[in-house]
Structure formats: structure tokens, C-alpha cells
Amino acid sequence: MQNADLANEREYVAGLYARLDELRAEKVAQLADVRRTLSAGTHQNRSERDAFATLYEDRLAQLNAVDDRLVFGRLDLDSGERRYIGRIGLSTDDLRQLMVDWRAPEAGTFYQATAFERQGVRRRRHLILSGRHVLAIEDDVLDADLLADGGELQGEGALLAALNSRRTGRMSDIVGTIQAEQDRIIRAPLSGALVVQGGPGTGKTAVALHRAAYLLYTHRDRLKSAGVLLVGPTSAFMKYIERVLPSLGETGVVMASVGRLMPGITATATESRAVAEIKGRTFMADVIANAVANRQRLPRQDTTVTVEGTRLRLTVRQVRRARDKARATGKPHNEARATFVKILLRELTEQLREHIEAAGAGNTADRSYLAEDVRNARDVRVMLNLCWMPMTPEKLVAELFAKPAILAACASRLTEAERSLLHRPHDAPWAESDVPLLDEAAELLGRAEAHTAETSAAGAQRKRDLANAEKAIMNVNQTLADAGVDGVVTAQMLADHNAVHEEYLTSAERAVEDRTWAYGHIVVDEAQELSPMQWRLLVRRCPVKSFTIVGDIAQTSAASGARSWRQALTPFFDDRWTLEELTVNYRTPAQIAEAAVRMANAAGQVVSAPKAVRDGEWPPLVDRVVGTGVLEELVRILPEELDALNGGLLAVITEASQVARTTAAVRAMYGRRVGHGAGSLEQDIVVIDPHEAKGLEFDGVIIIEPSGLLAAAGGRVGDLYVSMTRPTRRLRLVTTTELPAGIEA
């Protein structure tokens, strides 16, 4: 019976892949046909063909991304219907449904049905695939009558099979094994802020990614143009997860670490915990505001400027009045400067006219040229810039930290010692904690005058483009429907294609380049690490405050990170957020998870202790080094670890200051098999620090000097707790000192 079922499933799955290949070939042919005629015809015809081309490209990208394990489940319903569940929906040409998208409402019972609440499901079948090949099937029989009729439970368990698989250095989706509590969170309503608290191994990141895909599917009209932003702790983490969303049928989500959220800025510098903590305080928003106001200066005394040989007087009173009127506009610094300049130029021009007319004894000749003479006079330009200098965010923040006098004037609440910590050269590279400060400065400074004029012209052209697009849209949508193309072309999409670009940018690509872009939803992973200033930046990116916030307070290691969700979120969301908790640890074996919890509790940290679904083969192993160096001991035990993991991915986690030295010692033995940092997760051995390890998982982990990780974090347990909970199979600790309390039972 089982062999016959397996054969039947292989035949059906082969049919699904045949349909997938047909659709791919169809889109390739349609795209080629469009491209052959792309430059011909009228302007409107070209716009319509551009819209077709982009839709075909997007659909083709989706079809290519879902090839691996296209289908993963089947529901047998009380009605007699068999419903296959997969990564996307598939139908025949005559609209007979072959497979349901996992995000569709009718697929929800695949994750939610139980023997106690069957929801019309008699049997849930898991199809275990490798690529396009069905390896095995596993049945969850929910209707007892099926067992009475000779049915039986089959297979090794799709969930445990996934948990026991070897790590690859890339995160894989869990779409085929989503559990009920995870599915409830994934399908939660869009509006408001949803906080997902979960201990290590509970699948927080997977839930966040699947929720992003679900929201884009369910609320596509709202989110397609505004977009979804997914924020992670590091660029390496973003690389680790980058393949998941495409495999779930979504390719348009913007993914970035906080250090990449300011266009044109890539934060690379490292800095001390103390400096990062100061820059993360909410007070720094006032410091930046003071720094902007500091660039709106009054001269110490009345000043004389020369225009075409005529000496004019600019008084402190005049400058103060112009400054007050410019500030009263409420515009950002660079835009309000236009008002400031206009007022003073008018007063100086009037003064120059009076001088000339007095000298000319009432001559009424045309004086319109005088305004331009005043504007172009070097003395006037210098004086206006001294009083109200146009600024870039980079220049403002760089000078703030490079010039002690400016910092003292703008940050009087900081102690002299704190200001000294912030001092750095003008050309120092940017750190991640600088990005919210740059963003704050950009918000207060606004765009430069030339850019503002350019933007106004572009805005007017954009309105004209949208008006033209509206006229063409009815024809386009009907043509698309007749062609069987998924999705709808909007006026905005058509106007985007109509515009002249050096290269076409999708909504996601345009969002990355536009600091003022307002996203429809933001997903934040490892959110416990964010400082108040980083939260301020993110809330600015989504004014409607539609967020999915994922993290674990116990894993906080950043000096300015949160000690509770209420502390972190109340200043920005008030009480308009809800908390959900994941309670099952799918990744970490019970023995290792329990040791990590004991360590955290012994250090006074209250942590959630999700129940582990499986025991491991080994308890945490401890090597106490006596009479030899810790690196020599590491080299000695590496062969044993690699043999135990049998080809699995091994991480060596050590303090950031020791990563280079440790890497050199391991490479001397294993050469190119060794990767340095989280950017090389596809090698056999990775040497990494705790910050880079956040959110990642490995088959085995060796922690060097656990007490050193605690000391480097100022006694906070987050780094060590994170490090201990990364392995899926085996944990080993190497120490020359006493282990932190609680690790050993």
C-alpha cells in the first residue's frame, strides 16, 4: 500500500513540475516576443509593452525560485477532495486547480488542523522531496475512521527530518513544517505592531520571513507599491536568509541591516560598547537638533559687506529677524535657508538702491539688476553662508564629533568624559550607531536648494506621467486579463515604466535609494538589540507603525539594547502593540538548551525556556586547559569534532578581538576549509564572534573561553547565551579559567 501511494505521489508531483515547466516556457516566449518589439510603435505602445515585460520578468523570477521542493503537502478532506499544498498556486489552462499556494486561506488547515479540531481534514500528508524527487511520504491521520479502514501512520516525520538535516550555511524555509503556533502568528492581522518573543531555536526568524511572504500575498494591493522592509542584525545575517523569501514566491522585499538604511552609507567601523551606548540614547536626537540650530548663527556684531564698491551694513538685528522668520516656516534647515537668504537679500538690495538713488539725486532709472548684483557679491555670499550654511548630514555629524567645541555646545548634558569618548577624526569611517544620527540629521536638514528645485520639476513631471498612465490603464488591464497574466498593472507602475531611467528600478530598488520612502510594513529581527535611536529611525520609515517585531530579550548583548519589550517599545508605540510568544525549541537539543538557561539564570537573567522537541546525542562537553594554550587545545580537539559531525557545519565562536588569531591557528591545519566571519558560512569550519553569530545555526559549536565572552560584554549574558544556543547537535566549551556558573548541572 505504501509503495503504491509513493508511486502515485511521484506521478502527481511529476505532473506539477511539468506544468511549472510549461508556464516557464510560456513566460520566456512572451518575454522574448515583447523584447523584440520593445522599441517600436507609439510612446503609449512602448509603455504598455514595458508593463508586459516587467510582469513577465517578475512571474518568471517567481517560477524559477520555487523549483526546489515545489510541493510539500496534501490534504484529504471530508468532502472527498484532495488538495495539494505548495509554494505557489498552479492551475491548468482551463483553471482546474492543481496546487494551492501555502498562504491562501484554504491552505491554512494544513498547519492548523489537529485530531481534536480536524477542520474537515481526514488526513494530512507530508511529501518529502529532494529537489524534484519524492523520497518519502508521512501521514498524519486525523480521522480515526481511516485507521479503522486499514490506514497507518507512515514516514520518519517531516519535522524531525528537517531538524536533523545538516546545516548548509544558508537558511532554508520551513514552509512544509510550520507548526500551529507559528502559523497563527504568521497569519496575524497586518495592522499595528506585533511582537514575537521566542527563545533560541523557536523559529523566530523563519516565522518573520514567512509572515513577510504571507502579508505580501494577502495584502498585495496595499503593500506592492509601498513595499515591505526586513531588518536584520548584520549584513552577514541578511546573506544567510536571502534565499528564503524567493523560495516562498516573493522577490520584492527590501532586506537590510540597520547599518545600510541610509542611502550612500555603508557602516563598517567598529567602536566600543560605551560609544555605541551613548549614540543610541534618545537624547542624541536633541544633540543633532542642536547641531543643526548651531549652523543658524548670528554675527557677534554688525557687519559691513561690499557690493560693486558700495559698502552696506548688515545688522545683528536684521539677521536675527530673518533667522526667526525662516525657522517659523517649519521647513528643514536647507529648505528654510531660502527664506533666510531671500529676506536678507531683499534688505541689502533696498539698502543698495537707497545708496545709488541718493548719489544720483533722484534718478529713476531701472534698478532691477541690483538684486542680482547683491546675490553675486562675494562678501554677501560669504556672510550668508557663515550665518546659515547649507549642510549635508555627513558633514554635520562628522564635524559634531571632530570638533570638541561644537559637541560641547550641542551636548551639554553629556559629561566631559562622555564627550571625549565620542571625539574622532573628521574622516573616520561610519559605524552602525552613526546611521540613526545621520538619518536624524537628514530629516532636520532636508534637501539642498538645487535638489529641491530639481525635485519640484520632477514632481510636476510625475503628475503628468500618472495622468497619461491613467488613460492607458484600462486597455492594459483588459489585455493582461485576456493573456492570462497574474497581477494588475497600476497607473503608478505604468508611469514608472514610462519614465526615462538609466536602468529600470523596481519599487524595492527605488525604496533602497530613497531615504524618505514610507514602507507599508516593517519586519525587524533580533529587535532586542536596537537602541532607542535605531527604533526612531525605523518608525520614521513606516509612519503607519505596521510592524512585526521579532526577538528574545534574554539574548540582548548590545549596550543600548532593550531589557524589556515595554522599555523598548512604549516610547514609540505607546501601548499599541501586542505580544505573542513561541514556546517550542525546534533547533537546540534539550541538554544544551537546559545548560544555557541554567547559565543565564545563575547570572540573574530571567529567560524564557521553550520546551525542546528532541534530546541530543551529547550533553555540553567541557575541556579545561591546563599547562597548554587554548588554541593548542582547539587544534587538538578539532578532528574529533569534525568526525562526530560527519560533514556538518562547525563554528568556532570567540571574542571579536581573538577571531583573526584563532582563524590563523585553524587555517594552519585545515587551509581553505576554514572561513573567517559570517560572510563565509559555506565552508566546513567558520571562526566567528558572538555578534556575527546572532540568528545563525550550526551543526556543532566550539566556544573559546566562555568567561571571556561574559567579560567582553560587561557581564551581560547575551553573547554567551547566544553562542551556546547556536548548535543543532553538539556543543563544546574550551576554557583556561572557571566556567560561568550554571553551565554544568
Total residue count of the chain as it appears in this document: 745
Give the model's pLDDT for residue 718: 85
- What percent of the chain is helix, strand and coil (3-state, nearest 5)? 50, 15, 35
Q: What is the Cα–Cα distance from 202 to 214, expressed in whole angstroms?
A: 19
Q: Give long-range contacts, CB 8 A cutoff, 24+ apart: 178-183.
A: 178/111, 178/210, 179/111, 179/203, 179/584, 179/586, 180/111, 180/112, 180/114, 181/582, 181/583, 181/584, 182/111, 182/206, 182/207, 182/210, 182/582, 183/108, 183/111, 183/112
Model pLDDT for residues 411-425, shown as the tens digit of each residue: 999 999 999 999 999
Give the model's pLDDT for residue 498: 54
Helix/strand/coil for 542: coil
Output the nine-digit C-alpha cell for 254.
527590501
In this prediction, residues 466-482 reach a mean pLDDT of 57
Model pLDDT for residues 54-106, shown as the tens digit of each residue: 778 888 888 988 998 899 899 999 999 999 999 999 999 999 999 999 999 99
* DSSP summary character for residue 520: S
H or E stretch at 698: strand 698-704
Model pLDDT for residues 288-335, shown as the tens digit of each residue: 999 999 999 999 999 999 998 899 999 999 999 999 999 999 999 999
Taking a C-beta distance cutoff of 8 angstroms, is the pair 691, 656 a contact?
yes
Query: pLDDT-derived band of residue 740, with 50, 70 and 90 as boundaries?
Result: very high
What's the distance, CA 418 to chain centroid?
31
Gyration radius from the chain CA atoms: 31
Model pLDDT for residues 145-156, shown as the tens digit of each residue: 776 555 554 444
Helix/strand/coil for 548: strand
H or E stretch at 500: none
pLDDT at residue 457 greater than cutoff 60: no
Q: Which residues pair with 611 in a beta bridge?
A: 584
Residues in Cβ contact with 710 at an 8 Å cutoff, skipping those fewer than 6 apart: 603, 716, 717, 719, 720, 740
Give the model's pLDDT for residue 419: 96
* DSSP summary character for residue 242: T
SS (H, E, C) 701-725: EEEECHHHHHHHCCCCCHHHHHHHC
The closest alpha carbon to 572, from 551, 554, 549, belongs to: 549
Taking a C-beta distance cutoff of 8 angstroms, is the pair 51, 493 a contact?
yes
pLDDT at residue 734 greater than cutoff 60: yes
pLDDT at residue 23 greater than cutoff 50: yes
Task: Give the end-to-end CA distance of the chain in Å, rounded to a whole number.
Answer: 48
**Torsion, Cα of 657, 663, 664, 666 (10° steps):** 140
Taking a C-beta distance cutoff of 8 angstroms, is the pair 258, 537 a contact?
yes
Domains of the chain: 2-156 (no CATH), 279-416 (no CATH), 588-735 (3.40.50.300)
* DSSP summary character for residue 555: G
In this prediction, residues 13-35 reach a mean pLDDT of 91
**Torsion, Cα of 177, 181, 184, 187 (10° steps):** -40
Percent of the chain with pLDDT over 90: 53
Q: What is the Cα–Cα distance from 547 to 520, expressed in whole angstroms?
A: 9
What's the distance, CA 211 to chain centroid?
14
Strands 82-86 and 97-101, how do they pair?
A: parallel
Give the model's pLDDT for residue 424: 95
Give the model's pLDDT for residue 246: 78
pLDDT at residue 476 greater than cutoff 70: no
Query: pLDDT-derived band of residue 205, with 50, 70 and 90 as boundaries?
Result: confident
Model pLDDT for residues 592-627, shown as the tens digit of each residue: 999 999 998 998 887 777 888 888 889 999 999 987
H or E stretch at 72: strand 71-77
Q: What is the Cα–Cα distance from 696 to 382, expressed in whole angstroms?
A: 54
Give the model's pLDDT for residue 483: 45
pTM: 0.78
Q: What is the Cα–Cα distance from 348 to 354, expressed in whole angstroms?
A: 10
Strand spans (E) along 82-216: 82-86, 90-91, 97-101, 121-130, 133-141, 193-198
Average pLDDT score over the chain? 85
Taking a C-beta distance cutoff of 8 angstroms, is the pair 493, 485 a contact?
no
Give the model's pLDDT for residue 537: 97
